[in-house]
Homo-oligomer: A and B are copies of this chain.
Amino acid sequence: MGTDGAPFRRARRPEHKQQRYEAILAAARSQAERKGVSNVSLADIAAEVGVHKSALLRYFETREEIYLHLTAEGWQDWVDGMRDELARLPVGSVTGVAEVVARTLAARPLLCDLMTHTSLTLERNVSLEAVRNFKLAALAALADAEVLIRRVLPDLTDDDVRDLVGAVSAVAAGLWQATHPPATLVALYAEDPRLEHTRLEFTPSLQHLIEVVLTGLLHPRDGGGAPRPD
C-alpha cells in the first residue's frame, strides 16, 4: 500500500479525517466516471486513495454506502444546477423546463448511472440509518425542485412534479445504460441496417419524453371510451 496521494497513513486529527473522507468520495466518483458504477469495487477505491480497504471501513460500511452518499449529493447538485436556469424561464414554458431538466441531467452522467443502481443495489447493502439519510436528502432535493418547477408551471401540483421527477429519473437511468452500449452492440449497430434506427440519443430522447409528460400532466385526462372529436 503506497502513500502516493495520501500524505498520512492513518487520519487521526479531525481535519485529516475530513480530508480522508473527501478523498474517498473523490476516488469513488472518479472511478465510477471512468468505468461505470457497476465495475468499481471497494478495493479500487482504496487503491486510488492509496490506503488499505480496511481504512475505508472506518468511514463507510460498504461501497454501496459510498455511492448512496454520492447519489444524495448528486440529486442536490442537479437541483442546484437547475436553479438559476429555471428562474430565468417565462411562466408557462413547457419546452424551457424540458430543455433545462434534460440538459442539466445529461451534464451529470454519474448521477444518471447512479439512478440505475439506487434501488437495484445501493439501498440493498447499507444500514437503516444510511438509507434514512439518503431518503431524507433526496426528499429535500425534490422539495426544492417542486418550488422551482411550479414557479414556471404553476398549474402543476406537487404530486405532478413528483410524478415528473419519478418518470424522468427512471427514463434517464434506462436511457443512460442504452446510450452507453457495450462494444458488441456498437459493432452490431454499425453492421445491421435493421437495427440502426433503434439507436437512441440521450438528451433529445429525454427532452422529448419530458415535454410529453408535462403536456400530459397539464391537460385534463378524459380517458373516455368515445372517439375524441377532430
Contacts and interface: CB of A to CB of B under 8 A. Distances in A.
Interface of A: 38, 89-96, 98, 116, 119-121, 123-124, 126-128, 131-132, 135-136, 139, 155, 163, 166-167, 169-171, 173-175, 177-178, 181-182, 184-185, 187-188, 192, 194-195, 198, 200, 205, 208-209, 211-219, 221-228
A224 B175 CA distance: 26
A98 to B, nearest CB: 8
A205 B164 CA distance: 12
**Which secondary structure dominates chain A's binding surface?**
helix
Contacts of A177: 119-120
Contact of A208 (B126, B163, B169, B209): B163
Nearest to A130: B184
Nearest to A184: B128
Contacts of A120: 38, 116, 177
- The 4 A-B residue pairs with the shortest CB-CB distance, nearest first, are A216-B216, A170-B174, A95-B223, A212-B216
A222 B227 CA distance: 23
Kindly name the residue among A119, A139, A213 whose own CB sees the greatest number of chain B CB atoms within 10 A.
A119
Contacts of A131: 184-185, 188
A195 to B, nearest CB: 5
Contact of A225 (B92, B171, B178): B92
- This chain: how many copies in the complex? 2
A170 B175 contact: yes
Contact of A227 (B92, B181, B195, B224): B92
B132 A192 contact: yes
A35 to B, nearest CB: 13
12 contacts: A93-B223, A94-B221, A94-B222, A116-B120, A128-B187, A135-B195, A136-B195, A163-B209, A211-B221, A212-B217, A215-B215, A218-B228
Contacts of A121: 38
Contacts of A208: 163
A72 to B, nearest CB: 14
